[in-house]
Structure 1
Amino acid sequence: MLATTVIQNGAKKEHTMLVLHGVFGRGRNWSSVAKQVVARRPDWALHLVDLRLHGDSLAMTPPHTIRAAASDLVALTEAQELTIDGVLGHSLGGKVALALADAWQDRPLQVWLIDSTPEVRAPAGDAWDMLGRVRSLAPAFASREEAIGALEASGCSRGVAGWMATNLEARDGKLVWRLDFDAIESLLRDFYAADLWHVLESPSSRHDIQIVKAEESETLSAPAVERLTAATQASDHVHLHHVPGGHWLNTDNPSALVDLLSALL
């Protein structure tokens, strides 16, 4: 079962949203944004999910695919008897959100894609580069600072290195990675290979889809942005927002995300 953290404000909750992080992350990466949203929208509860192979959801069986990750969410909601009104996904989590929306075509659902893409592309970019970096490093470290220094030396910024180092755990007097990078590679390869354009270009009449493009990120290619713009013109159910900031908008420009979510949920 997937691990979750629930953020809600008192007993006024009427709606429930799943929040899905990106690769190498975990649900609590979105805690600050979630707390600000529910402070302004106490009618919503946000469930911050640790996706398969991440956080406290490590013991998951193959295949490690986007659709398997969406099936995990279905199992979670059924086990907890949750009625889901919305799903928000960042990066990798965005494609999982699209796969869930595809499975729930007949349900009313808000879908939020935060700097994610429905397109097929060759494996590349920051997440793919990070996979190569961690594999090039020693398998264990004497301290968190040693790990951060090694990541910085491999090309990471200090901030990204510190964030990635949250995936270390103590074992036999050393710090080692908690993550199964071979399994994550399988999940990433499927992320790049999965084509989910139809969810946006032929949207369910019961869905409302909000796409947030980080202006300083290249996660969404120029042709993809053109295609998304056409999708918004073809359907009242698809909306595109351009927000200043880099790929990690939850840390780069959280106030813009909080404003959008608070206004449109």
Structure 2
Amino acid sequence: MSRPQLHQYTVAKASSRRWLYVLHGIYGTGRNWASFARRLIAARPEWGAVLVDLRLHGHSPGFEPPHTLPACVRDVLELSESLGRPVDAILGHSFGGKVSLMVAAAVAPTQAWVIDATPSRRSPGGGAARLLHVLRRHPGPFDARRDAVSAVEAEGFASPVARWLATNLVFVDAGYRWSLNPDALGELLADYFRRDLWDVIETPVPASEVHVVRAARSDILSADDIRRLRAAGVNGRVHLHELAGGHWLHVDNPDGLLDLVRDHL
């Protein structure tokens, strides 16, 4: 039986000849980045954007274990081959940031953009891990979407986060349930936390650049991460940028992020 293929949404012009692959964060989908991609491609019409639903997310649910970052990389490379669109550049947010670094190590795109993600190994935790517990404690069914939103808010999450997570609800058997599989996503997150990808940063692939974008109101990048990124920048191919805003920069500061990527892509 053939392997499933990642779902993708393409933003392109007739003049698009180069391809930027965009990888969302955990619990997200490619369309989270649709507005950003449309504005970017309008400004840089020689580029097209491939917005990917990573395995177990959005319209890419039917993937078998192991659920690891290397498996995510293989999925993206197989999608690229199937579409006949090379990975000329790649942009990944949070969880997708680590995947983008691994894709960059495999195919040597001109650029890899890492949006508020650390290349470091970390102890499991933070909001992503807490949301796994929410999915397990409140599996549904819910009579209405607002009931799921209320359940997430009751666990201490802000309303925008709760409403965003609720985009992962599907109507099944007269009620709303999560389309997300917390056990499988837990495997992905565990692999994400244990991966150290500093080799990709400190010894970038020849002819490739790495742009790391730090959100000023986020603590994802530690002081040691920032020090190592600045040290890596002496080779002229690793760039650390800081933008005002929180972790979801494409929502908090879309204009700043757009200007940065547009001017450097």
TM-score bracket for the superposition, by shorter chain length: over 0.9
Q: Which residue of 1 aligns with 2:48?
A: 45
Asked whether the 8 Å contact 1:205–1:237 carries over to 2, the reply is no
More moved, 137-146 vs 121-130: 137-146
Distance 1:23 1:158, change over 3 A: same
Given the alignment of the two structures, is residue 155 of structure 1 paired with residue 126 of structure 2, yes or no? no
SS in 1 for 2:213: strand
Counterpart amino acid of residue 163 in structure 1: W
- How many matched pairs? 261
Q: Measure the CA separation in 1 of the matches of 2:75 and 2:250.
A: 24
Q: Which residue of 1 aligns with 2:166?
A: 165
Q: Which residue of 2 aligns with 1:210?
A: 211
Q: Which residue of 2 aligns with 1:84?
A: 87
More moved, 134-143 vs 192-201: 134-143
Q: Measure the CA separation in 1 of the matches of 2:11 and 2:139.
A: 37
Residues 232-253 of structure 1 show CA distances to partners (whole Å, capped at 9, x for unaligned) of: 12x1110000101000001000
Q: Which residue of 2 aligns with 1:32?
A: 35
Counterpart amino acid of residue 250 in structure 1: H
Q: Measure the CA separation in 2 of the matches of 1:209 and 1:73.
A: 18
SS in 1 for 2:171: strand
Q: Measure the CA separation in 2 of the matches of 1:134 and 1:116.
A: 23
Q: How does 1:69-80 map to 2 (within 5 A)?
A: 69-80=72-83
When the two structures are superposed, what TM-score results if normalisation uses the length of structure 2? 0.96
Residues 160-201 of structure 1 show CA distances to partners (whole Å, capped at 9, x for unaligned) of: 100000100000100001111100000000000011100000
Residues 191-235 of structure 1 show CA distances to partners (whole Å, capped at 9, x for unaligned) of: 0001110000011122111110001001111111111111112x1
Q: Measure the CA separation in 2 of the matches of 1:152 and 1:108.
A: 40
Q: Which residue of 2 aligns with 1:61?
A: 64
Q: Which residue of 2 aligns with 1:133?
A: 134
How much does 1:138 deviate? Answer: 4.5
Asked whether the 8 Å contact 2:122–2:193 carries over to 1, the reply is yes
Counterpart amino acid of residue 29 in structure 1: N
Counterpart amino acid of residue 71 in structure 1: R
Asked whether the 8 Å contact 2:139–2:177 carries over to 1, the reply is no
Q: How does 1:185-224 map to 2 (within 5 A)?
A: 185-224=186-225
Q: Measure the CA separation in 2 of the matches of 1:31 and 1:78.
A: 22
SS in 1 for 2:236: coil
Q: Measure the CA separation in 2 of the matches of 1:170 and 1:116.
A: 33
Q: Measure the CA separation in 2 of the matches of 1:183 and 1:170.
A: 21
Q: How does 1:213-252 map to 2 (within 5 A)?
A: 213-233=214-234, 235-252=235-252
Given the alignment of the two structures, is residue 94 of structure 1 paired with residue 97 of structure 2, yes or no? yes
Asked whether the 8 Å contact 1:131–1:181 carries over to 2, the reply is yes
When the two structures are superposed, what TM-score results if normalisation uses the length of structure 1? 0.96
Percent of aligned pairs sharing the same letter: 43
Q: Measure the CA separation in 2 of the matches of 1:172 and 1:166.
A: 18
Residues 84-108 of structure 1 show CA distances to partners (whole Å, capped at 9, x for unaligned) of: 210000000000001111112xx34
Q: Which runs of 4+ in 1 moved over 3 A?
A: none
How much does 1:21 deviate? Answer: 0.1
Stretches of structure 2 lacking an aligned partner (at least 5 in a row): none
How much does 1:156 deviate? Answer: 1.0
Q: Measure the CA separation in 2 of the matches of 1:108 and 1:143.
A: 44
Asked whether the 8 Å contact 1:119–1:195 carries over to 2, the reply is yes
Q: Measure the CA separation in 2 of the matches of 1:24 and 1:222.
A: 27
Q: Measure the CA separation in 2 of the matches of 1:14 and 1:169.
A: 36
